[in-house]
Chain A
Amino acid sequence: MSGAVPIRGSDDEMTHNPNSHNSNNLPFAMNQHTSGSLNTMQRDRFELLSAYLDGEVTAAERKQVEEWLATDSSIQRLHSRLLTLRQAFQSMPVPASECSAEETVERVFALVERRPRLSLVWGGAAIAALFVGAMATLFSTENPLVPQMAKSPERIEAPQSPTASNEPLLIALDRPLVTIPKAPVAQSVSSDDKDETGQNPSHENVR
């Protein structure tokens, strides 16, 4: 919306300047009868010529402009002026840059390479966070074991009386090695022990 104001402003300049300055050079000399409607006509024609220059016209419009160019010397002059303007616009030198292409390349690479390094740091941090997370999950898998331990005494205590619960503890302390594997292991170990204790020490002692 802010663009609307300057458009009107330059519109006025556009129509007043040529009328006041150079009525002899006026591009659209044939349209100089009354100002209002003719100005819009001039504007439309100029716009069409401008669009023609950019190749942004329909076939009918192109035909129309080419007809003007063939017959109207003021349009011809305006056309060549606009062509010169375009040529100057494009060939006009621009102030030399402060920074050569080589310097630009070095700066760009220095900047973009620094940024990936930062991302590596973040990547490293993310990996570290993964480890922390993994450790946390390991601990959390152990945690369910703790409540189970906490629950098991309840199960034990529930069926038995508080006084009876003390006795299994004492038994458990006495019998940890005794339970299931004890019978076969005890036999084999005891037989081996007999052989070894009977023979080996004697050999060692002899030799």
Chain B
Amino acid sequence: MTQSLPVSWSTVEATPAQVPVQAEKLSNYDLVLRCQAAHRPEKAAFAELVRRHQPHVEKVLYHLAPDWSDRADLVQEVWIRVYRNIRRLNEPEKFRGWLSRIATNLFYDELRKRKRNAPPLSLDAPLSVDDGEMDWEIASTTPGPDEDMATREFYDHLREAIADLPEVFRTTIVMREIQGMAYEEIAELTGVSLGTVKSRIARARFRLQSQLQIYLDDH
């Protein structure tokens, strides 16, 4: 008890000094440090981290689980895990990679649960869900001013082609292209050899490039 008191006093003294600096102006590194300063992450700093990295989390989960309808819940769960564990992040400069891993681990946790719970659905559901997802995507994707019809069409085909990849290939290529993981990290996360990772990435690329050749050569 006597040891915990000075600690709490020091944080009380430290926070007023930091208040004038707004969270939006801090670097990711400083935001993480600020979240780690107290027992619970400071709300302003945490909110800024969410604001900056939410699109990345969504993108990762979108590509890992294109046919899951409850991705918003997963995104939320990722941030709950971040909230709880951010003090354990020893290298704040690696926040984004750490965040990616949290999202990936959550995806695998969920995948295991779903495979255990609902195997009979796998034959019918993916097709119909895929169609629904694609319709929804087209409706909700607002093209930028310089995004012409051809580009949109290309992206739609690319999205479809990625979603159509067998699961192990899709997750591996997503970890590489979207999450920027090294082969070794992917091997560790997916529990396969380095050679398998290398081969899966090459095969996924090969399939995508042959399916999308027309668009890829145009660009």
* Number of CB contacts from chain A to chain B under 8 A: 136
Where chain A touches its partner, the secondary structure class is: helix
B15 contacts across to A, CB distance below 8 A:
none
CA A105 – CA B49 in complex, angstroms? 10
CA A186 – CA B62 in complex, angstroms? 96
B87 CB–A CB distance under 8 Å: no
A97 touches B177 (CB 8 A): no
Out of B80, B198, B209, B213, which one reaches A51, CB within 8 Å? Answer: B198
Q: Which of B149-172 contact A (CB under 8 A)?
A: 154-155, 158-159, 162, 166-169
B108 CB–A CB distance under 8 Å: no
Given pairs A108-B83, A112-B83, 17 additional interface contacts (CB within 8 A): A7-B200, A10-B169, A14-B210, A18-B210, A46-B205, A47-B199, A78-B209, A81-B216, A85-B212, A88-B158, A88-B219, A89-B162, A96-B140, A99-B72, A101-B50, A102-B47, A102-B51
User: Nearest 4 pairs between A and B by C-beta?
Assistant: A6-B166, A50-B202, A47-B202, A101-B51
Which B residues are closer than 8 A to A by beta carbons? 40, 43, 46-47, 50-51, 54-55, 58-59, 62-63, 72, 75-76, 79-80, 83-84, 136-137, 140-142, 144, 154-155, 158-159, 162, 166-169, 173, 176-178, 182-183, 192, 198-203, 205-210, 212-213, 216-217, 219
> Could you list some 14 contacts between A and B, CB below 8 A?
A3-B192, A10-B207, A14-B207, A21-B210, A50-B201, A54-B176, A84-B219, A85-B216, A93-B155, A95-B140, A99-B76, A107-B76, A108-B50, A111-B80
